[in-house]
A and B are shown apart, each in its own frame.
Chain A
């Protein structure tokens, strides 16, 4: 399967190209929509996990334990099982259980605990002295979170965003199971089931480029905000 084969194939397969373009759009939708919502919900949970720890700003043993267990359960369920397990919830949220929008729901649910743990880790790297200094200068807890903890953990949080998006690219390949479409789905149906090696190759190449791009942009942003 040389590169020439791909270019020749590309010229003679307009319908397949349209299909791939559609699939690319679906993958991007799934990754970024679920990534976005995952962060909207996951970051506060990560912050809460950090703050409720022993010696934390809002120390609460029970809350910390419960959150920790819920997050661990979320992270231990294989994504392919989660995908079908949450079908009733998906129907409740988007009204249907098939299609790209339907795939976003389990992807988001899968991403939340992942993000929460990564954000918790990023916050852990903020020296406790900074929180203490903020307390000493009369910062309210909410001010400590928004003005000290989150800005200081920003490089780590951006890193968490990058890792999560890359992971979601991988997860989204399984979304075909519920008719979510996307590049992974095309790869399986056309490449694997119809023995079309070229299509398989193209989808893999596009996914590789996508992951590389996400990682490079993420690294670049970390470098820009990191003044440590």
Chain B
């Protein structure tokens, strides 16, 4: 549905060339929800703005539904954009228009009749659950409600594709969840292809089937969400996965942590379970086999796309030899181990 072919984008700051995007290739199938994740400044915003040519790629092609947008005249492009919906981080609703009139705007642009507009807008507002806010001005809506209006507006012209530019980044976690559920519903009920960009792995985990990771303007990794979580190939991918788990050492442990083994101290170990880790009750096996006791400090395990993965912080008690054997055993079972230090 969306083909991004060899797209490059170069910005000029005086004499300085900034390569915002280099050779991006993506193929997004009809009906999928595709996520692009990257840290701020990675170029993901530029990428999504290139898809509907709000930003014209320096080179490369954007093909949506068989039409190469980069080859269109300005007039044709304007008309083609009516089949590409877009929502934004800051909603971009018109403050001078009511909720109803905001949703009606794309239809007005296409000179739809008043009666048809009324019917369409009311059905869209029902879809996003805002039928009671018809005559409200955006200033009196919450962030989540504003994004719902923006979604209804983006759907007004029956687009085949919906672009979401950090659509949930300005929202709290609960609202983010409800907006994601709405996007999923739209994808399933209306069979709209959704391309969303975000810096939150949780968003990708929540609704995407496929994901691409970009860093520094380059495509670093792409694949099904399950695959990426199970077998992250790059450091960047691993970082994003870790960010969804967020496991930090408690402050009082941190203060008692030393880097060298001392008398009466035991190692604090981070265990990282990935898709390739052997799926067995390893922790209890460990303590039975090697005379070690394990005290779990914190643990965050998750299940995405048929794969268990997660992080665990644990203190290992036992003789030095037993602990060494235990670590070797875990490594053999493909659990990534990092000794963070020794707790005195």
Contact = CB atoms under 8 A, between A and B. Distances in A.
Contacts of B326: none
Given A132-B54, A136-B84, A138-B79, A152 B109 contact: no
Contact of B157 (A138, A147, A151, A228): A138
A137 B82 contact: yes
Given A130-B94, A147-B105, A152-B94, A136 B86 contact: yes
Nearest to B108: A147
B319 interface: no
A138 B80 contact: yes
- A interface bracket (residues with beta carbon within 8 Å of B): 20 to 34
Contact of B154 (A134, A137, A228): A137
Contact of A133 (B78, B80, B86): B86
A151 B101 CA distance: 12
Name the prevailing secondary structure of the B interface residues: mixed
Contact of B92 (A130, A138, A151, A154): A130
Contacts of A154: 96
Contacts of B84: 136
Contacts of A147: 105, 108-109
A228 B157 CA distance: 26
Interface string A12-28: 00000000000000000
B153 interface: yes
A94 interface: no
B78 A138 contact: yes
Interface string A134-166: 111111100100011001101000000000000
Interface string B233-273: 00000000000000000000000000000000000000000
A132 B86 CA distance: 10
**Highest count of chain A CB atoms <10 Å: which of B88, B92, B137, B157:** B92
Nearest to B85: A137
Nearest to B79: A138
Name the prevailing secondary structure of the A interface residues: helix
B143 to A, nearest CB: 15
A31 to B, nearest CB: 28
A136 B154 CA distance: 9
A130 to B, nearest CB: 5
B94 A151 contact: yes
A129 interface: yes
A148 B157 contact: no
Given A129-B90, A132-B54, A143-B109, A137 B95 contact: no
Nearest to B150: A133
Given A137-B109, A138-B109, A152-B96, 6 more contacts: A136-B81, A137-B85, A137-B106, A140-B75, A227-B96, A228-B95
Q: Which 5 A-B pairs have the closest CB atoms?
A: A138-B82, A133-B92, A138-B81, A227-B137, A136-B86
Interface of B: 52, 54, 75, 78-82, 84-86, 88, 90, 92, 94-97, 105-106, 108-110, 137-139, 153-154, 157, 163
